[in-house]
Amino acid sequence: NAGVTQTPKFQVLKTGQSMTLQCAQDMNHNSMYWYRQDPGMGLRLIYYSASEGTTDKGEVPNGYNVSRLNKREFSLRLESAAPSQTSVYFCASSSGQIQETQYFGPGTRLLVL
Amino acid sequence: GENVEQHPSTLSVQEGDSAVIKCTYSDSASNYFPWYKQELGKRPQLIIDIRSNVGEKKDQRIAVTLNKTAKHFSLHITETQPEDSAVYFCAALIAGGYQKVTFGTGTKLQVIP
C-alpha cells in the first residue's frame, strides 16, 4: 500500500514550457486535490476532484488544468509555465466522507526559469 | 469563503517547555478542525483533529481546544522535544460530501535542546 504517489519529484522548466504532474492513490479514495506550497503562504488549493468524473477550481486555478483520469489518478498540467509557478506541489486524497483525513503525496518541487 | 488565520508564524521554545499555536476562522458553519505537522522536506501529516461537538481533545503530549463562539482553536504541545520541530498547519472545513479545506499559513516551531 503506497498511499499517494507523485511524479516527478523535481523538475526544472523554462518559461513557456509545458508539463504534467502525475498523482496516484491506492486507498480507493473518492476525493483528490492539488495544492501548491510557497514560503509563508501555507497550502493553497489549485483544483480538486470530489469524485471520479468531476473537477472544480480551488483558490488559485489560473495557469493550470487538471484531469481525473480514473478513480486512482489525478494529473495537473501547466500549459505554459511561468516563474510565478515555481513552487512545491502536493497532491492529496481523502475518502470523501465526512470529517476525515487528507493524505498527502511526497510533493513535486518545480523550478521555472 | 472560509478564512483561517494562524499565529504566531514562528515560535521558539526550550526543550521541555510548552508551545501554543492559535487559529481563528471566519465561517461559523465550519465544524471540523484538523492540525497537520510538516517536517522539513516532507509531506504534511495529520496529528490531531477536533470536531465541533467537543471543546477539547488530547493525545499524549498534544491537545487541541475549540471555542466555537469565538471561532478560534488552539494546538497545545507539552513537554516539547527536538522532534517536535516542524511547521504546523491548522485547517477548517465544513463537513459534507467532499472536503474543501482552508489551511492557515503555518507556524514554524523550533524546539531548542
For B8-51, the pLDDT digits (tens) are 999 999 999 999 999 999 999 888 899 999 999 899 999 999 98
CA closest to B6 among chain A residues? A42
Structure confidence at residue A1 (pLDDT): 72
Residue B32 · residue B49 · CB < 8 Å: yes
The number of angstroms, rounded, from the C-alpha of A36 to the middle of its chain's C-alpha atoms is 7
Q: Which of A33, A42, A102 sits opposite B105 (nearest CB)?
A: A42
How distant is the Cα of B99 from the closest Cα of chain A, in angstroms? 7
Q: Which of A51, A101, A105 sits opposite B43 (nearest CB)?
A: A105
Instruction: Name the strands in the sheet holding A64-68, side by side, starting at the edge strand that comes first in the sequence.
Output: A4-7, A19-25, A74-78, A64-68
Structure confidence at residue B77 (pLDDT): 98
How distant is the Cα of B76 from the closest Cα of chain A, in angstroms? 20
Distance between CA A16 and CA A14 in Å, rounded? Answer: 6
Chain A residues 10-69 with CB within 8 Å of chain B: 30-31, 33, 40-45, 48, 50-51, 58
Of the candidates B17, B5, B4, the one whose C-alpha atom is nearest the C-alpha of residue B110 is B17
The answer to whether B103 contacts A42, with C-beta atoms less than 8 Å apart, is yes
- Residue B99: which pLDDT band, with cuts at 50, 70 and 90? low
Structure confidence at residue B62 (pLDDT): 98
Number of Cβ within a 10 Å radius of residue B14: 9
Residue A87 has pLDDT above 60, yes or no: yes
Of the candidates B30, B70, B69, the one whose C-alpha atom is nearest the C-alpha of residue B50 is B30
Structure confidence at residue B96 (pLDDT): 64
Q: Cβ neighbours of residue B100 under 8 Å, at least 6 residues apart?
A: A45, A48, A58, B93, B94
Average pLDDT over residues B71-78: 97
Place of cell 500500500: A1
* Range list of β-strands (E), chain A: 4-7, 10-13, 19-25, 31-38, 42-49, 56-57, 64-68, 74-78, 87-94, 103-104, 108-112
Structure confidence at residue A99 (pLDDT): 46
Q: Are strands B10-14 and B107-112 parallel, antiparallel or unpaired?
A: parallel
Mean pLDDT of chain B: 92
CA closest to B108 among chain A residues? A40
Distance between CA A25 and CA A20 in Å, rounded? Answer: 17
The answer to whether A50 contacts B97, with C-beta atoms less than 8 Å apart, is yes
What are residue B83's phi and psi, to 5 degrees? -70, -5
Residue A78 · residue A14 · CB < 8 Å: no
Residue A10 · residue A21 · CB < 8 Å: no
Residue A91 · residue A110 · CB < 8 Å: no
Average pLDDT over residues A78-88: 97
